[in-house]
Structures are given as C-alpha cells and as structure tokens.
Amino acid sequence: MSPQRQTVKKIDSVEVQGEGSYVVLTGVKVSEMRAMRKSAEDKDFDHFQGGLDLIAKHIQDWNWVDDDGNPLALPANNPEVIDDLTDEESKFLAGLLIGTETAKN
C-alpha cells in the first residue's frame, strides 16, 4: 500500500450544528497561507473577509441548516450563505482550517 494524501476530511460538527451534522473540508495549502500573509501586509486588506473567503473555498459538502432547519446551500453554489453563519460556526470552520480546532471524524 502506498501513501495517499489526506486532503479531504469529513468532520463531525455536533458542537455547532447538532447531532448528525458534518462538514467536508479540503486542506489549506502552504501557498494559500503565504498569500494570505502577503495580502495582510496591505493596510486595506480585510482580514475578516479574507478568512471567510478561505473558509468558503474549502467547504466541499455539509448538511448544515439555518435557524428554521432549512438546509444551507454550499458556499460554492451560493457564496452569500457564509453571511448566514453564526460567529460560533465561522470560528469553528476557521479553527478546523488553520488547525486550532480538533477535527473529530
């Protein structure tokens, strides 16, 4: 058996979306982190928006819902869905991407 890169992970998101919820994320590449750091040198760079854009780019699938229990569209299909996330949900996703949140598969 040969090595295989594990860049796509399905992660349990029970703490922000309840039992049975999940999100599928692709891993952030070093080149993306370097680009973000370089962009951050620009005084007009919006760090918050840059982080949200990175999150949206890496979500491949999820079964998340809004406050009324309606499925949230995937950011790839509807980027504005990121605006509907709670602060807790966005922090959870950011933590998974940058490694401060422990992924529970």
User: Any idea where the domains of the chain sit in the sequence?
Assistant: 11-98
Q: How confident is the model at residue 48 (pLDDT cuts 50, 70, 90)?
A: confident
Alpha-helical (H) ranges within the chain are 14-17, 30-40, 47-58, 87-98
CA 88 to chain centre: 12
Q: What is the mean pLDDT of residues 25-30?
A: 91
- The CB density around residue 76, as the number of other CB atoms within 10 Å, is 13
Of 61, 62, 50, 35, residue with least CA distance to 94: 50
| Contact criterion met (CB below 8 Å) for 105 and 11 | yes
Q: How many residues does the chain have?
A: 105
Task: Give the predicted TM-score (pTM) of the model.
Answer: 0.82
